[in-house]
Amino acid sequence: MQQKFKLSQAFIAKYKRKKPPFGFNGLGELVYMRTYSRLKENGKNEKWWETVQRVVEGAYTMQMNWIESHQLGWNPWRAQKSAQEMFDRIYNMKFLPPGRGLWAMGTPITEERNLYAALNNCAFVSTETIKDDGSKPFTFLMDASMLGVGVGFDTKGAEKIMVKGPTTKREPEVFVIPDTREGWVESVAALIDSYFHGTPDITFDYSQIREAGVPIKGFGGQSSGPEPLREVHETIRGVLDGNAGAPITITTIVDIMNLIGKCVVAGNVRRTAEIVFGDPYSEEYMDLKNYEVNPHRDQYGWTSNNSIFAELGMDYSEACKRIVGNGEPGFAWLENMQGYSRMKNGKDNKDHRAMGGNPCLEQTLESYELCCLVETFPYKHESLEDYLKTLKYAYLYAKTVTLGKTHWPETNRVMLRNRRIGCSVSGVAQFLTYRGVGELREWLETGYDEIQRLDDVYSDFLAIPKSIKTTSVKPSGTVSLLAGSTPGVHYPESRFYIRRMRLSVNSELLQPLEAAGYKVEPAFGSEDSTVCIEVPIDVGDGIRTADQLTVWEQFSLAAFMQRHWADNQVSCTVTFDPDKEAEQLEQCLNYFQYQLKGISCLPRFDAGAYKQMPYEAIDEKSYNKMTKKLKPLSFTKMKGEDAEAEKFCDGDVCLV
């Protein structure tokens, strides 16, 4: 039986009445209450100190049980001191675990069900070995997605297995689907394999699946009923029928993956994160999101970001023409991903087995590999020495997650060997504004060296391999909102703006928001069920906005971070004026292809004003007028409400 680590109650008591440093005029606290504050056994929501306590105790429980099970010598006093320091740095948001960790660490999901995969942000699976793997790449993506892990995949399995179709010489087999995640996944595996191996057709029995609206324990939310699963069975069957008697095509591979993504969304994981990597010279692949060519795909093509495995020295002109239309494809230089760590260190071929990356493309990954990302906020530190201390605990959290086994043998094999982690930085725009590029370079390089030193120390302490790579720049999203930080390397759209969020009309969060003076109104188009909350935001004096940065500066910043910090990758979406800068993209790619591992580009179109836009730029006068009406926000008296767990990566740029 596992032991559980506990923080000192005397230590915890010091934080119970403190006001957490949530950012952005209550937005950070609202995001926390909506997304990460779990419902306790007494029916009330966690407070921030309780969430941090659960997460830290969960992490040190993992460490303790690893050390004890391998008889390596656990020191309770040193562990208590270390855990208290980690608690303080998470509480004050000098670093934060991923959203997945804030939600799942220290809960029955990990401590009773041992679903440690749920602590990881992202994964990748290749279809190249589809002849041997059969349905496995598809069901891995489905299983991981249902656990909240964003998944990348490729199309290298095209032409490598025949779609035989089910045999008509034997009676169909009945598959009674258990009302579990595993049952859903196994049903899709049985269906796909019947087409690959020519086994009897499958008839599904959905009678055991709970009705729509029934609460789901553990992962939160409500059951969708059997309809999303029934639909994915029917649509996958239709796709494979269309490919029957021939080798599997690129379109079939991507269709099945996208249909699974749509099912997962409808099955109560509200957002999906998929990325597909394809051949830049394949017209079939490049046209997958051309809905004039593939009109049937407009119902599910949105579930993935589509990128290409760009070749160094290739002609980028055709890809750039497509980008101006819809922001795709993105670019991944697999040769650089495999050959380099930080670009400044020269070629090391350390990641020669890498096959792709995650949906936001900040992680180089092998097939079936997962990774945990943590986020640090350099600008929230007064000194480099203090930041180096934060890096110790951010690193230690991520390294600890690698101790948890998954339920996939292929994943365990690669993760036990690689121990890959991603220590990220956010608030880069804020740091550059107030401290400058020279100091940023010093902090990044000194910090990187410190993480390598820590990896020597703690890999030895835990008696596990050193991490193959340790640093990244993630795009961030809700996690950076908690801390009041700009996301990753990205600049804000406006200094002053209104951030709108939607809540159910029955949400217990509404009364405290209204009492504090926030504007709450019916959500346009869903007036009976949803309300819209307006939060005024000021990202800080002197910070430039995204439209003030040229494409060249944005590419340069990504390359700077890839050179001085990220040995994995930098997730960066370059925004550009399609009328003035589109013609410069090809030259940017030509120059920077030797300095980057991945990049995406998004045209800035004036969508025009429409009701209740998520972000609306305002001037300082409007901002001051809105904030004068606000009173202190307090959720202490609200009734309990289960949070809507953030799934997948945490960044809006890779969630579709």
Residue 105 and residue 26: Cα distance in Å, rounded? 25
CA dihedral in degrees (105, 107, 110, 115; nearest 10)? -100
Residue 80 and residue 62: Cα distance in Å, rounded? 14
Q: Tell me whether residue 360 is one of the annotated catalytic residues.
A: yes
> Which one is catalytic: 362, 366, 369, 581?
362
Q: Tell me whether residue 583 is one of the annotated catalytic residues.
A: no
Q: One-letter amino acid identity for 292?
A: E
Residue 255 and residue 151: Cα distance in Å, rounded? 15
Residue 576 to residues 548, 550, 585: CA-CA distances in angstroms? 10, 7, 9
> Which one is catalytic: 320, 360, 423, 654?
360
Report whether 268 contacts 223 (CB < 8 A): yes
278 DSSP assignment: E
Tokens read off for 230: 């029934």
Residue 646 and residue 656: Cα distance in Å, rounded? 13
Residue 50 and residue 304: Cα distance in Å, rounded? 35
Tokens read off for 21: 């440093």
Tokens read off for 305: 């970001």
Residue that has been written with the tokens 């937005």 in this structure: 27
CA-based nearest residue to 463, from 74, 13, 8:
74
CA angle 313, 316, 318 (to 5 degrees): 145
Report whether 373 contacts 123 (CB < 8 A): no
215 DSSP assignment: B
Catalytic positions, written as ranges: 360, 362
